[in-house]
Amino acid sequence: MATAVQVNVHTYATTHVATNLIRSLKQLVVGCGLDAAKLVGEWRTLERGVATWLGSGHLERLILEIYSRSSGRLIRRFDFDIDYGYNPGGDGDLWIDPDTVAYALKKSGELPANCTYDILAQTAAGRPDVDGWSTGALRSTSGLTRRSVGASVGGGNLGASLGVWK
């Protein structure tokens, strides 16, 4: 008699990637010398939105905007670009590379005093609404240049690559 076991890799991968994207945001916030209290206070809301939209396939990019508190001008931006076909046919392994985030921090340079941050998500049309999230607009990246850093987290077919605007 044969026994078959099926695991819902997509659910585990979604949870893993969502959790570690938020952890990576915290690593960036702390590494930039910013106060992580805002992020920690919104952790559940952030994780719920990211996990929901990863699971539905609507999350395109998770963004950390760092801007001047006085002028509102964007100083630095970190983008996690989501790839839903990251490892097709893979074995469902779950991984994170904190060195990618550390490298991004090293390359992004120091921030001027008086900066703060927002976390935003770019989603595809038709995304489900998530309590605690609202619509908003990205700040202009005019005058900044985007550099790709590399893959930072993955699980199953889901992956996220990190880019830095400076």
CATH at 63? 3.30.900.10
Total structural domains within the chain: 1
Q: Is residue 2 part of a domain?
A: no
Q: In this model, does residue 83 exceed pLDDT 70?
A: yes
pTM reported for the whole predicted model: 0.92
Instruction: For the chain, give the percent of residues with pLDDT over 70.
Output: 92
Look at residue 1 and tell me if it is in a domain: no
Residue 71 in any domain: the answer is: yes
Nearest to 39, CA basis, from 53, 25, 52: 25
Q: Are 32 and 111 in contact (CB under 8 A)?
A: yes
Please write the tens of the pLDDT for every residue from 49-61. 999 999 999 999 9
Q: State the residue range of the domain holding 142.
A: 9-165
Residue 4: band (very low, low, confident or very high) from pLDDT cuts 50, 70, 90: very low
Q: Does pLDDT of 5 surpass 50? A: no
What is the overall mean pLDDT for the chain?
92
Whether 20 is in a domain gets the answer yes
